[in-house]
Amino acid sequence: MKRGSGKRPGKIVGGVIFALILLFLISESFYTIREEEQAVVCTFGSPKAVTTSGLHFKIPIVQTARKVNTTIQGFSIGFSSTGNGDEAMMITSDYNFLHVDFYAEYRVTDPVKALYASQNPEEILKNIAQNCIRTTIGSYSVDSVLTTGKNEIQANIKQMITDKLSIYDIGIQLVNITIQDAEPPTEAVSIAFKEVETAKQGKETSVNNANKYRNEQIPSAQAQVDRILQEAEASRQERINEANGQVARFNAIYEEYVHYPEVTKKRMFYEAMEEVLPGLRVVIQNGENETTTMLPLESFVWDETQDASPAEPEEGDN
């Protein structure tokens, strides 16, 4: 009895240990990958990426699985990220100092390289970004950094970082980098820059108003030009028609003159006299310039209302 009773506790302990080992092996044989993750399974030091989500099996002890977050992540670069101004302090091409804060977004594109190509890929990305930011900011004026050149600066920095990441090949990709804030280092300088910006906005407003006035006046002026051109064209056409009429009349008179020269000359003379004589006045003076008599020429013109045939001269009148 004693020998049998002594073996039972040992069997129980052994069974419990075996069960724990079996439970451990089972728990280490499966792992779950969520939608926003990928895993790297390492077998005897050889890593392999697992990209499909769900429940997966691995050999306990022989294989290890490390999960990597593949969603977009980010970090700040500048004053807000460290609490001191040294990281954010930058100098522009025109030798002005500025505090510039950036925010970088990235994601893991190759989990194997992200885990094994470098010890801390995010820190490497941050160092690359700081270098590219300072290089780019140093090639722009302070006005460009504060106002109009932000989009171009961001695009150049992003391209520079992307080129360097392709060289280092650490398994991460820059998604975007933006300027969070940019301001002068002191309050007095900040106020001066704001006044300059206000003046620029006033200038732009004046230019816009001038362009608006110009755009309003140009159609009116163009309408006047069109009207003047139309009037000139109408006058030109009228003069041309008048000249053509005179040419046709002259040609007709000339044709008539060629056939009947004497009759034509007399007719033209009479027509000319009909136009000239009604407006003619006759002034008669005596020899001593004492009296002056003005007689209208109409009295010498034959009155058409009178009898067309003159009276017959009496006999004896010569």
Q: What's the mean pLDDT when you consider all of the chain?
A: 80
**pLDDT for the residue numbered 294:** 52
**pLDDT for the residue numbered 65:** 84
Tell me the CATH architecture of domain 72-185.
Answer: 2-Layer Sandwich (3.30)
**pLDDT for the residue numbered 310:** 47
- Separation of alpha carbons 101 and 81, rounded Å: 9
**pTM exceeds cut of 0.85:** no
**pLDDT for the residue numbered 285:** 62
3-state secondary structure of 185: coil
Residue partners of 129: CB distance under 8 A and separation at least 6 = 77, 102, 104, 157, 161, 174, 177
3-state secondary structure of 41: strand
| E-assigned strand segments in the chain | 30-33, 37-43, 46-50, 54-57, 63-69, 73-77, 89-91, 97-108, 172-183, 281-285, 292-296
| E-assigned strand segments in 109-227 | 172-183
What is the chain's Cα-based Rg? 55
**pLDDT for the residue numbered 102:** 93
Amino acid in the structure at residue 57: F
- The ranges of the chain with pLDDT < 70 are 1-7, 10, 16, 18-19, 21-28, 79-87, 279-318
- Separation of alpha carbons 15 and 12, rounded Å: 5
Residue partners of 100: CB distance under 8 A and separation at least 6 = 78, 88, 90, 133, 137, 145, 179, 181, 182
From residue 73, alpha-carbon distances to 53, 63, 112, 172 in Å are: 20, 28, 18, 11
> Which sequence spans correspond to the domains of the chain?
17-68, 72-185
Eight-class DSSP state of 217: H
- Separation of alpha carbons 49 and 111, rounded Å: 7
3-state secondary structure of 66: strand
**pLDDT for the residue numbered 1:** 46
Give me the residue label for tokens 């050149």: 149
Number of CB atoms found within 10 A of residue 235's CB = 10
